[in-house]
Amino acid sequence: MKFIFDAHLDLSMNALEWNRDLRQDVSQIRALEAGMTDLPDREKGVVSFPSMRKGNIGLCTATLIARYVKPKNKLPGWNSPEQAWAQTQGQLAWYRAMENDKQLIQIQTKKQLEAHLLAWKQNAEKNPIGYVLSLEGADSILSMEHLHRMHHEGLRAIGPAHYGPGTYAFGTDSSGGIGVKGKTLLKEIAQLKLILDATHLCDQSFWETLEAYEGPLWASHSNVRKWVPNKRQFDDEQIKVLLERNAVIGMAFDAWMMLPNWKRGSTDPKTSGLNLETIVNHMDHICQLAGNSNHVMIGSDLDGGFGKEQCPFDLDTIADLQKLDQILTKRGYSQNDVEKILSKNGIRFLSENLPD
């Protein structure tokens, strides 16, 4: 069973906002949610620590996420940046609690990454799951001092925007540039040598960001616009410039990002034919543009506000990411290619860009 690195999981959001104890089996979490209707993915979650272990997912990028929404913004979120900051601090406290319980171990440096991978290889059952801390959307960063504080806490990757207009950039389903605040943030990100996550940037903010920022960047969970023609995905020109910058792009398993014309709440994964094979089309397109398999990774986003109702029908828990091995092999990918996609590309990128 191959080792998997998942470059995007909203673990703390599920723990604090969905009230899920991720130490439990997925079946236990679903049973506790039986009959609940406050969220569309109740009883349908797919992620827990036991399921990650079952799938040999020993390393992930785990997020802090709290969006600030201005009064005219109808998106869900916090009504002040201070509230958003406080929410991320609560999420950070949960990660610390899971570290104390030996469920997780934070990876901040290259040496820690190497040590964790070796320890996991020697005895996966007795070692905590490694996580690299990322901030999805920078609205909670009240000032550059706050960014430095988060860097001190181990923050190693950051996406300037999420959905809608943000403080530092415009995100998915909005349009606009990065402005003075965005450029100030990018300057500090470069100074701290954080990984910039290009995911969720609208097209204008994407291009302005890449023009202003020269440091390491990846896209933790972004698919291909050729196969799903909406602006949440990357078009070929965006993919090509990311390839030129030696980025890696994580494949997301949210149905509407995998299959065109998906309608939330009505399209069914089984009847629509949405399976794990579908994501390989996205992977393959990037590999063909690159001429190699060096720039694709997994950034599943599983349980990122959706569950089994909105992911491949042949995925019951996150452990089923292991099925990609056989699917990629049948598509003609060598075992070396498969290992690169499942973990080695992302690990190589971290090894090159984490501090010593």
C-alpha closest to that of 60 among 13, 8, 112: 8
Q: Distance between CA 63 and CA 47 in Å, rounded?
A: 14
* 32-68 per-position pLDDT tens digit: 999 999 999 999 999 999 999 999 999 999 999 999 9
Strand partners, 297: 250
pLDDT at 85: 98
Supply the pTM of this predicted model.
Answer: 0.97
Would you place residue 71 in the very low, low, confident or very high pLDDT band (cuts 50, 70, 90)?
confident
Would you place residue 75 in the very low, low, confident or very high pLDDT band (cuts 50, 70, 90)?
confident
Report whether pLDDT(224) > 90.
Answer: yes
Contact between 168 and 160 (Cβ < 8 Å):
yes
DSSP assignment of 22-49, as one string?
TTS-HHHHHHHTTT--SSTTTT-----H
Between CA 251 and CA 263, with CA 257 as vertex, the angle to 5 degrees is: 155
Q: Distance between CA 228 and CA 162 in Å, rounded?
A: 19
Q: Distance between CA 294 and CA 309 in Å, rounded?
A: 31
User: What's the half-sphere exposure (Cβ side, CA atoms, 13 Å) at 55?
Assistant: 27
Would you place residue 194 in the very low, low, confident or very high pLDDT band (cuts 50, 70, 90)?
very high
Q: Report the domain count for the chain.
A: 1
Q: Distance between CA 129 and CA 65 in Å, rounded?
A: 20
Structure tokens at 356: 């010593």
Q: What 3-state class would DSSP assign to 155?
A: strand
pLDDT at 40: 93
Task: Return mean pLDDT, the chain.
Answer: 97
Would you place residue 275 in the very low, low, confident or very high pLDDT band (cuts 50, 70, 90)?
very high
Structure tokens at 206: 């994407």
Q: Distance between CA 207 and CA 182 in Å, rounded?
A: 13
C-alpha closest to that of 73 among 143, 153, 164, 156: 164
User: What's the half-sphere exposure (Cβ side, CA atoms, 13 Å) at 303?
Assistant: 31
For residues 319-338, average pLDDT: 98
* 23-32 per-position pLDDT tens digit: 999 999 999 9
Between CA 163 and CA 245, with CA 65 as vertex, the angle to 5 degrees is: 70
DSSP assignment of 277-295, as one string?
HHHHHHHHHHHHHHTSSTT
Would you place residue 74 in the very low, low, confident or very high pLDDT band (cuts 50, 70, 90)?
confident
pLDDT at 73: 80
Here the CATH number for the domain that contains residue 225 is 3.20.20.140
Write the CA distances from 269 to 30, 224, 243, integer angstroms.
19, 19, 31
Would you place residue 103 in the very low, low, confident or very high pLDDT band (cuts 50, 70, 90)?
very high
How many other CB atoms are found less than 10 A from the CB of residue 291?
Answer: 9
pLDDT at 129: 98
Report whether pLDDT(271) > 90.
Answer: yes
Q: Distance between CA 16 and CA 90 in Å, rounded?
A: 8
* 127-184 per-position pLDDT tens digit: 999 999 999 999 999 999 999 999 999 999 999 999 999 999 999 999 999 999 999 9
pLDDT at 70: 83
Report whether pLDDT(118) > 90.
Answer: yes
Q: Distance between CA 43 and CA 27 in Å, rounded?
A: 9
Higher pLDDT, 281 or 73: 281
How many other CB atoms are found less than 10 A from the CB of residue 296?
Answer: 25
Domain that holds residue 98: 4-353
Report whether pLDDT(72) > 90.
Answer: no
pLDDT at 218: 98
Contact between 178 and 205 (Cβ < 8 Å):
yes
